Amino acid sequence: MSGAPRRPRSVRRLFGPDHAADVRDELEFHRAAKVDDLVARGWTPDDARREAERQLGDRRSLQRIGEHIGGTMNRRQRLGDYWRECLQDLHFAGRAFARERGFALVAVLVLALAIGANVATFSVINTLILRPLPFPDASQLVWIAPPPSACGLSCATYSSDAYEEFRDQSRVYQGVTGYFAFSGSDNVRLDRGGDVVPATGLDVISNFFQVLGVTPAIGRAFTAADARTGARPVALLSHAYWARQFAADRSLVGTNIMLNGQPTTVIGVLPASFDFGSVFLPGARVDLFTPLDLDHARDWGNIVTLVGRLRSGATLDQARDDASRVAPDLYFNVKYPQSRGQYRNGLVPVPLETHVSGEWHRPLIVLWSAVGLILLIACVNLSNLLLVRGAARSKEVAMRQALGATRARLVRQALTESLALSLTGAVLGLAAAFGLVRWLAHRGDLDLPLLNGVTIDTAAVLWTVLVAVVAAALFGLVPALKMTSDNVQEALKDSGPAAGRGQRHERLRLGLVIAEIALASVLLVGAGLLLRSFINVLDVHLGFTPEQAAAIAVDYDDSAASAEAGASKRVAAFQRILDRVDAIPGIEAAGISDYLPFGANRSWGTLVPKGKVYRPGEVSPPLVYVVTPGFFRAMGIGLKGRDFTWDDRFGGQPVIVINASAARFYWPGENAVGKFLSNGRVDLQVIGVADDVREERVEDASGWQVYYPATQESPSDARLVIRSRLPVDTLGSTMLHALRELNPAQPAVALTLVELGMTLPGV
């Protein structure tokens, strides 16, 4: 045959079966046999060869078919042999670990801890970073906010008219919606046959669920008609609240429930997959939703958020250009000048997923790196243990090599043992991760977004398998190669194990020890830095004294025909509450505020001293708190000057307390007490200067704060703060009993620590 010279058959067989040569031999055999048969019948040799070729047909096609059949049969045979050998290796590994239970137990536990930590961390990262938000076409959703500023939620929200103008003027959105940003927890009273049960409700713009793409599981969503002034009150229930409070009764839809003393029709139940708090207000629980009447709230100032859904094909850059075009019209609003917003610096649309979990990306990546480093340390440690174990098995390995076992076969056996250890540890680690993730998902006091969606899903299981396989290769490959690289003759001698290890073996072990120490050092240094940062955070002065302080939401009625009558009714109610609470043994101080640090906040515009002129943007709107006498003492906030008194009546001289940062700005080097600030309508006398209080996060500096007396201004809410010599966790039931003596309709809300917002037992 012509063509390039072929390698000898014996050489080609070194690389596996030579199917091409086998098929050629087979075809040549059949051709020669046919030629012999025809010659025996009297054909000439040349005619016989031509006839044999004709009957044989297309030899190239037959060659390809034969090679394919041979390769398929060989692969099946090799695959069957491979699985039989794998089962043998696993059986051998099981017997070996049964003899070495201590080693196997330590290895499995180390791997279970390391892999479990990795899987749990991956589950959190998968939910917060890798997976899209739980809404249809979530990439189209954007959060629309002004640039960050120091005036809290008031500078991150919009007035009713600003929302409507943005909605009408913007060109890149399918829909724009939002929700009332200042709702507090337990702000709704559900009356169930005389038993008043607190619930947390939230007002949303009527198209809120349509823009998000959320369809009620039962019933219908809100319509524009539901949000009109004078419309019949309606509500949508969260799935969890419906199941918890109404036993998942489907017949509830279409019937009335009593909310805040008013019959309200339940028009639907939201799907179980929708959890408002986990996306928009981490750590909060929202039980029901009601439509926001924008006309009724038009004069409330900045109260609503903005969330938009981009049109198909619209980009984020187009949304930003659109926002820059609309922002000046919102700021210079001539239609409703009394509710102009803080939009001079423009609006900043960002992907909703960035707003929800963007600030968690870096901490979670750092955490993931740390647990990955722990896994590396575990692998290096196990590699060292396997090296020691391999030294003890050197004669066994040498004997198997002497009997004909190849190095590749022995390495595969060793890696199978490592994989068996790793997979066993992975199963235990997966079980531990499942428990940890379940615990995290039910921690309502953590402000981690999307926390309730963290679960061990298919991706987490696949990640577990990948980590187990990679870990097995990391800690098993080097010992396997080292164990099979020794001289067989030396290893079989009595002195072999001691003499054959030599300096090369010790250098390898020393290298692994150095690598383990280096990785541990990196982990320790990182942990030390994090611990130092944590200690620094603990050392930060909050501006108040949280020890032995707790708060509880109180219910009161200040409805009246006029602001003066409402103030008088409110003052009387607050005085009765505080007098009754002060009479409880162990209570040192008590006061009421509508907002507390590290919770919701708002501002009411800028304040300036009379006669002073500032450049645009130089004066920031301070955060506003409406408080009663005794609040500063109950919170442990230092105060220079005087506290509010019940004599600071409505209609008298308006008074305020400002914080130290504001006082230093307005009157540097002077005593601010007795000075006056103007809000453009009235002059407010500064009667005290309070310590700066951290408002939103411990790591952020304090902004400006102003405190108004509840005797002159109407609070948005009422949080009773107490300071006690007794452990505050023993006062819950006593406090609730005292409040219900004054108001039988007082909901059974929980006493919470002021600093951490942790629910205390006893209520």
Which of 23-27, 186-190, 266-270, 419-423 is the least confident region? Answer: 23-27
Q: What are phi and psi for residue 622, nearest 5 degrees?
A: -75, 155
Residue 643 has pLDDT above 70, yes or no: yes
pLDDT tens-place string over residues 272-324 = 989 898 888 887 789 999 999 988 887 777 788 899 999 998 999 998 888 87
Above pLDDT 70, what percent of the chain? 78
Residue 332 has pLDDT above 60, yes or no: no
Residue 344 has pLDDT above 70, yes or no: no
Average pLDDT, the chain: 80
pLDDT tens-place string over residues 683-714 = 999 999 999 988 877 666 778 899 999 999 98
The pLDDT of residue 748 is 65
Q: Running DSSP on this structure, what letter comes out for residue 304?
A: B
Helix (H) or strand (E) holding 123: helix 101-125
User: Tokens in use for 362?
Assistant: 């870096």
For 247-275, what is the mean pLDDT? Answer: 92
Q: What are phi and psi for residue 234, nearest 5 degrees?
A: -135, 160
Residue-wise over 570-587: b if at least 16 C-beta within 10 A, else e? bbebbeebbeebeebeeb
For 663-681, what is the mean pLDDT? Answer: 90
For 556-581, what is the mean pLDDT? Answer: 82
**Banded model confidence at residue 3, pLDDT cuts 50, 70, 90:** very low
The pLDDT of residue 645 is 93
Query: Please, are residues 129 and 357 in contact by the beta-carbon 8 Å criterion?
Result: yes
Residue 390 has pLDDT above 70, yes or no: no
Q: What are phi and psi for residue 553, nearest 5 degrees?
A: -75, 135
pTM of the complete model? 0.71
How far is residue 674's CA from residue 688's CA, in Å, rounded to a whole number?
8
By DSSP bridging, strand 307-310 and strand 141-145 are: antiparallel
How far is residue 189's CA from residue 196's CA, in Å, rounded to a whole number?
6
CA nearest 548: which of 726, 758, 733, 732?
726
Query: Please, are residues 139 and 465 in contact by the beta-carbon 8 Å criterion?
Result: no
- The amino acid at residue 321 is D
By DSSP bridging, strand 655-659 and strand 705-709 are: antiparallel
pLDDT tens-place string over residues 149-205 = 656 677 778 888 888 888 888 889 999 999 998 887 778 888 877 677 888 899 999
Residues 6+ positions from 664 with CB-CB distance below 8 Å: none
Q: Is pLDDT larger for residue 520 or for residue 651?
A: 651
Q: Is pLDDT larger for residue 517 or for residue 33?
A: 33
Question: CA-CA-CA-CA torsion for 216, 278, 466, 138, nearest 10 degrees?
Answer: 60
Q: Running DSSP on this structure, what letter comes out for residue 700?
A: S
Residue 174, SS3? strand
How far is residue 593's CA from residue 705's CA, in Å, rounded to a whole number?
14
The pLDDT of residue 638 is 92
The pLDDT of residue 377 is 81
pLDDT tens-place string over residues 440-493 = 877 766 667 787 778 888 999 999 999 999 988 888 887 777 766 655 556 555
The pLDDT of residue 35 is 83
Query: Please, are residues 56 and 66 in contact by the beta-carbon 8 Å criterion?
Result: no
